[in-house]
Structure 1
Amino acid sequence: MIASVTLPRMMEIGGGAVAQVPNMIKNLNASRVLLITDKNMVEFGYVAKLQGILIEADIASSVYADTIPEPTSSSIEEAVLVTREGNFDCIIALGGGSAIDSAKAVSILARFGGKMRDYKVPRMVNEEGIPIIAIPTTAGTGSEVTRFTVITDDESEEKMLCVGLGFAPYAAVVDYELTMSLPARTTADTGIDALTHAIEAYVSKKASPFSDYHALEAIRLIAPNLRTVYHDGKDTDAREKLMRGATYAGIAFSNASVALVHGMSRPIGAFFHVPHGLSNAMLLPTVTAFSIEAAPERYADCAVAMGIAQQDDPIDVANARLIEELAAINLELNVPTLEEFGVEFSMFETVLNTMIEQALLSGSPANNPKVPTPDEMKNLYLNLWS
Structure 2
Amino acid sequence: MASDISTYNFPTKIRFGPGSCHELTTELAALGIQRPLIVTDRDVAKLPWFTTIEDSLRDMAAVTFSGVWGNPVVSQVTTGVAVYQDHNADGIVAVGGGAPMDVAKAIALMAHHPGHLFDYEDGNSTRPIDQPIPPIVAIPSTAGTGSEVGRSAVISDDETHAKKIVFDPQLLPKVVLADPELLLGLPAKITAATGMDALTHLIEAFLAKGTNPLCDGIALEGIHLVAHHLKDCVTFAQKQAAGEEIDPAAHLAARAGMLNASMMGAISFQKGLGVTHSCAHALSTLCDTHHGLANGIMLPAAMRFNLEAEPEKFLRMARVVDPSAENGQALIDWIVVLSDAIGIPSCLSALGISTATVSELVSIAIDDGCHPCNPRPVTEADFYAIYQDAFAA
Global fold match (TM > 0.5): yes
- Partner of 2:323 in structure 1? 309
Cα distance in structure 1, aligned partners of 2:120 and 2:372: 20
Cα distance in structure 1, aligned partners of 2:232 and 2:110: 40
- Partner of 2:167 in structure 1? 163
Q: Residue 104 of structure 1 aligns to which amino acid in structure 2?
A: K
Q: 2:202 aligns with which of 194, 198, 201?
A: 198
TM-score by length of 1: 0.90
Q: 1:344 aligns with which of 335, 340, 354?
A: 354
- Partner of 2:377 in structure 1? 371
- Partner of 1:223 in structure 2? 227
In the TM superposition, 1:78-93 aligns within 5 A as 78-93=79-94
Contact persistence 1:123–1:163 (CA under 8 A): no
SS in 2 for 1:94: strand
Displacement of 1:354 after TM fit? 2.6
Of 68-77 and 206-215, deviating more is 206-215
Q: Residue 23 of structure 1 aligns to which amino acid in structure 2?
A: T
Contact persistence 2:41–2:99 (CA under 8 A): no
In the TM superposition, 1:93-104 aligns within 5 A as 93-104=94-105
2:254 aligned with 1:238 = yes
The number of residues matched between the two structures is 368
In the TM superposition, 1:56-205 aligns within 5 A as 58-123=59-124, 127=130, 128-205=132-209
SS in 2 for 1:129: coil
Q: Which runs of 5+ in 2 are unaligned?
A: 1-8, 238-247
Displacement of 1:159 after TM fit? 1.3
Cα distance in structure 1, aligned partners of 2:122 and 2:387: 23
Displacement of 1:126 after TM fit? 5.5
Contact persistence 2:366–2:379 (CA under 8 A): no
Distance 1:338 1:232, change over 3 A: same
Cα distance in structure 2, aligned partners of 1:204 and 1:135: 29
Displacement of 1:143 after TM fit? 0.3
- Partner of 1:258 in structure 2? 273
Cα distance in structure 1, aligned partners of 2:12 and 2:257: 23
TM-score by length of 2: 0.89
Q: Residue 379 of structure 2 aligns to which amino acid in structure 1?
A: T
Q: 1:277 aligns with which of 292, 295, 305?
A: 292
Of 216-225 and 204-213, deviating more is 204-213
Cα distance in structure 2, aligned partners of 1:106 and 1:148: 12
Displacement of 1:149 after TM fit? 1.3
TM-align CA RMSD: 1.9
Q: Residue 29 of structure 1 aligns to which amino acid in structure 2?
A: G
Contact persistence 1:37–1:99 (CA under 8 A): yes
Cα distance in structure 2, aligned partners of 1:8 and 1:51: 27
Displacement of 1:369 after TM fit? 0.9
Displacement of 1:157 after TM fit? 2.5
- Partner of 1:291 in structure 2? 306
Deviations 1:274-308 (A, max 9, x none): 100000001111111111221222121111222x2
Q: Residue 278 of structure 1 aligns to which amino acid in structure 2?
A: L
Displacement of 1:273 after TM fit? 0.9
SS in 2 for 1:78: helix
